[in-house]
Each structure stands twice: as C-alpha cells, then as structure tokens.
A and B are shown apart, each in its own frame.
Chain A
Amino acid sequence: MDSGVTQVAYVPDAGHKRLIELCHAEPRMRAVPLTSEEEGVGLTAGAWLGGVKSVVLMQSSGVGNVVNALAMARECRFPLVMLVTMRGEDGETNPWQLPMGGAAAAVLEAMGAEVHRADKPEDVAPTVRTAIVRAYDAHAGETAVAVLVAQLVIGVKRFVEVSG
C-alpha cells in the first residue's frame, strides 16, 4: 500500500493467483477482472485522469493483446504498470506458449515500454517497487513499465492426463 496503488486489474494467470486473492480481500484495494488485457490500459489511463494509481496483471500471452493500446499510453505519456508472469520459458510444456513468451519483451520494448525482469523470487518485490516509481514519476515523465516475472519463479505448469 505504501506505493499508493489502490486498483489492480487483471486477466488471471496461475502465477498471480495468490496476489489476486489478496487484492480481493483488501478493502482499500479495487480489484477489477478484465475480459482482455488491453482493457487494463484504458482502465489505468482513466483512473489516472481521476488521480488513482493502478497495476495490471497478465500472463505473457496477454502482452499480445495490449499492443495498440500501448500506443495510446505512449502518446499521452500515461503511467502504466504491467506485472507479466512468463510462459514459454524453461520447462514450458505447452508449445503454443512459446511464440508469445519469446516475443513479449521485444514487443513491449518496440512499443516504448520499459522492461524489467525478475528472475529470482527475491527480485520480485524490489523490481515491482521500482516499476511503480518509474511509471508514476512525474519528474522524469510518466511512462509504461513492465515487470516480467520468470516462469521458474512462478513454477512450471504441468498437464497430467487422467488415464482410463
């Protein structure tokens, strides 16, 4: 709460499960489920017009859904914080996750977002704290910032078929 963020919007990812539950349980936090990640960009922008700070949670596949909305964030220099849990990295068992997982950082950077990585569990909190300060830094100019949380930090999803 010391970050001043009072709104968290999300398309769920297993890696954000506990955080989403905590946000819903916190009375001072507005948790907003989205149908698609791009909605989080507009929501964050509108909230900031009204003085409220937000964070958007998404899986790396969702990065592909936000691209044109990032153009708006960039042109208007809207602050935007995206916490992206990665798929398609070490240990991935679903090959369909590989293309977007592999492209997520490059796509974000191509659209002018600042990209930070958290490769170890102990990196997550300080990196997110830095991202929020960067995004909402009125002196340096507000900007879009993404934190990519490595798949090994979250744990690898296993697909176990029930036989018989």
Chain B
Amino acid sequence: MSASLHRREVVAALLAERGDLLVVAGLGASAWDCAAAGDHPLTFSLWGGMGQATMMGLGLACARPRRRVLVVTGDGEMLMGLGALATVGVQGPANLAVVVLDNERYGETGMQPTHTAHGVDLAAVAKACRFVRTSTVTREDEVPGLRWAIHEAPGPLLAVVKVLAESPPLVLPPRDGALLKERFRGALLQQPAPSS
C-alpha cells in the first residue's frame, strides 16, 4: 500500500488539545514523534522494552478506567508484542486506543522491511483479537475522525496509520526511565493541594 501521510503531522494532529489523555509511546520513531508534538508529563516514552507498549497501555487503562489511554507505536514494535493484542482483547478495556504508525520498516536500524511490507495486516489481527473498533487510515481527511475516536469512542480501538518511510529530524524525550515514571505518577496521582 503506498502511503502519503507524514508521521509527525499525524501524531501532532492526534495529540492536539489532548485534554486529560494518557499516552504511552513505543520505542523509536513513535517516541520521537510524540516528543516533537510536545514533551508532556503524561506521556511515557519507551527507550527500550520493545514489544511492551501495548501491555503498558493495558495496565494503565485498567488502573484508570475513567481516563482515555493512547498507545502510539510502530509496526515493528507491535509485531514484537503481537500476543498483547490477544491479551487486550480478553480484558476489553473500553478506554484504550492503539495507533500503529505503519511505515512498513524498521526505521531505526536501516529501513529494513517489516512483515507489514509483505501484507501482514495488524488491523485485521486486532479485529480477530476482539478489538471492537479497528481501521486502516491512509488519508489526511481520516485523521480528525481517528482523533475523535481516541477521545470518545468505546474501545479497545486499534488504528493502523500508513505513513511514509521517512526519518524526520530527531526530537528526543527525556531518557531517564525513573524520571519518566516519577513525573508521570506525580502528574497523574498526586492530589491537588487543598485550598485554604
């Protein structure tokens, strides 16, 4: 499938006016895309743990059922944790959305083709794993509808967004994992100071 969408523009549109959205960014370009959209204490960016992004999203979505949780990841990262789609399907969290930025490449290691370049369809896998809302986005005019669904539609949702195989300039999130954890928990869990 020939893609025309730019990953940075898609992620910037999906994270615009994000409200109280909680975000997990899969390692590599997806994390850089989220950082380019604006570093945020409620974005947890993975620098390792390949294959774990969706499971982290599941844990977070089940822990905070009144918040919307978005996992932004790549096709290679998703393929490494394919079992997570089955595990999410069994738990069925209505507040979880997974967006796979699918450039059909391992972008960080030399643009080698992933299985999706050979026709493996991650949206179809998610549908078979009981995700209630799945789609493949190829056009810019479909992005606002995806943003709406991430915030409003009952999930679990998985959208494959076909993006160009390009490497935009690096924009890096903090790389200290303990710091990322502490600031996320601080922003999410700390009670506001009582007003006197």
Contacts and interface: CB of A to CB of B under 8 A. Distances in A.
B165 to A, nearest CB: 26
Contacts of A44: 59
Nearest to A78: B181
A68 B50 contact: yes
Most chain A Cβ neighbours within 10 Å, of B54, B63, B180: B63
B192 interface: no
Contact of B59 (A36, A50, A72, A75): A50
Interface residues of A, number: 31
Contact of B63 (A39, A42, A47): A47
A78 B178 CA distance: 8
Interface string A80-116: 0000000000000000000000000000000000000
A148 B94 CA distance: 36
B49 A49 contact: no
B51 interface: yes
A49 B56 contact: yes
Interface residues of B, number: 37
What is the predominant secondary structure among interface residues of chain B facing chain A?
A: helix
Given A33-B90, A39-B87, A77-B178, A51 B59 contact: no
A44 B87 CA distance: 14
Interface string B90-125: 110000000000000000000000000000000000
Interface string B47-78: 11111111111111111100000000000000
Interface string A26-52: 000010111110111111111111111
Contacts of B185: 48-49, 51
Contact of B51 (A38, A43, A45, A77): A38
B38 interface: no
A47 B178 contact: no
B52 A69 contact: yes
B83 to A, nearest CB: 3
A59 interface: no
Nearest to A47: B59
Contacts of B81: 39, 42
A42 B87 CA distance: 12
A75 B177 contact: yes
- Of A32, A35, A39, which is in contact with the most chain B CB atoms at under 10 Å from its CB? A39
A34 B87 contact: yes
A71 interface: yes
Given A32-B91, A39-B55, A76-B178, A50 B50 contact: no
